Structure 1
Amino acid sequence: MLERLLSLFQTERKVTELPEADARHALGALLVRAAKVDRAYLFEEVEEIDNLLSHMYGLNKLEAAKMRAQCEKLEEAMPDTETLARVLHDAIPLAEREAAVRSLWSVVLADGSEQPEEGEFLHQIERTLGVSPKRAMHIHAAAAMEAGQL
């Protein structure tokens, strides 16, 4: 009887499943990691990730938020950034990898400032994705201009 009464007060938590580390989720996890690299996961960055996921994959706002939650779990479970970036490198062509770098910069710049550790992080990913330093510089400049930082 007591167990039955206690069960009425217990609520079930929805657990976000850990997604497969496919290219879509690997990019999402990298977007989350880019937002967290300065040790501040801000609303503007979360909103930018949701917008990017929605735009890239044709998701509505709720679907994008759910995908981001899955990507957050993947980001926590995969401590190696190189592995996440390698999934992208091996799965998508160079033009899409450059678009991924552009998306990463837009998340980093969403909070209105760029920290040195964010640049270092993005440059590491650019190298792993095979984006040339010259092309990466142009992508960074375009993202900064769009974010109003140039």
Structure 2
Amino acid sequence: MVDFIRDFLFRRKGKAPDGEPHDKAELRLAAAALLVEAAKLDGAFDGMERVRIASLLKDRFGMESADVAELIEAADEETELAGGLYGFTKEVRANFDNDERVSMIEMLWEVAYADGSLHDFESNMLRRVAGLLYVTDRESGEARKRVLDRLSGEAGGAGDIEG
């Protein structure tokens, strides 16, 4: 299973010779792995974070619930073996345009705030990942603001979100 995941993630480099967009499966696994890693940073990968990740992946990629559950499980296993963020961020940076990388940061902010607060480790990870993805501080800050605005709207007020 682990070899399959690694082959799946690192199978292709760059765009196809005919100029077609990159393989979305690569983004799915890399995105899921980064999201799972962000969820684990506060010491608990709880149900709320798992639900948020599943929702983000379903919305972003139009996946079925069963496929999302399998992807999250595979990403969880891969984060245990990967030994860091660099491989995932390298794959995303090499294959995805700036808008997609900013979208990835926005998804990470959503996971970081899934439990209603931002842990210092989560904030640090977001800064590191943004740098590794060549997303500017301004773009990351704007993504964070969009997430906070969206979450405060869902929660019925800004007082429910700490960070």
Offset of residue 24 of structure 1:
2.1
What are the Cα deviations for residues 16-53 of structure 1, in whole angstroms up to 9, with x where unaligned? x3312233211110000000011111111000111111
Letter matched to residue 28 of structure 1:
A
> Aligned residues, how many?
134
Where in structure 1 do 4 or more consecutive aligned residues deviate above 4 Å?
none
C-alpha distance in 2 between matches for 1:71 and 1:40 = 16
Distance in structure 2 (CA, Å) of the matches to 1:28 and 1:138? 22
The alpha carbon displacement at 1:105 in A equals: 0.6
- What does residue 80 of structure 1 align with? 84
The residue number in structure 2 matching 1:52 is 56
Q: How far has the Cα of 1:111 moved from its partner?
A: 0.8
Identity among equivalent positions (%) equals: 23
Look up the SS of the partner of 2:114 in the other structure.
Answer: helix
The residue aligned with 1:142 is 146
- SS for the counterpart of 2:42 is coil
In the alignment, the residues of structure 2 paired with residue 108 and residue 46 of structure 1 have an alpha-carbon distance, to the nearest angstrom, of 11
Match of 2:99 in 1: 95
CA distance in 2, matches of 1:47, 1:70: 16
Question: Residue in 1 aligned with 2:20?
Answer: none
Secondary structure in structure 2 of the residue aligned to 1:111: coil
Amino acid at match of 2:82: M
Hey, what does 2:119 align to over in structure 1?
115
SS at match of 1:110: coil
Give the counterpart letter for 1:53 in structure 2.
L
**TM-score, normalised on structure 2?**
0.78
Give, in angstroms, the shift of residue 84 of structure 1.
Answer: 1.2
The RMSD of aligned alpha carbons is 1.3
Q: Distance in 2 between matches of 1:126 and 1:40?
A: 22
Gaps of 5+ in 1: 1-16
Q: Distance in 2 between matches of 1:54 and 1:138?
A: 23
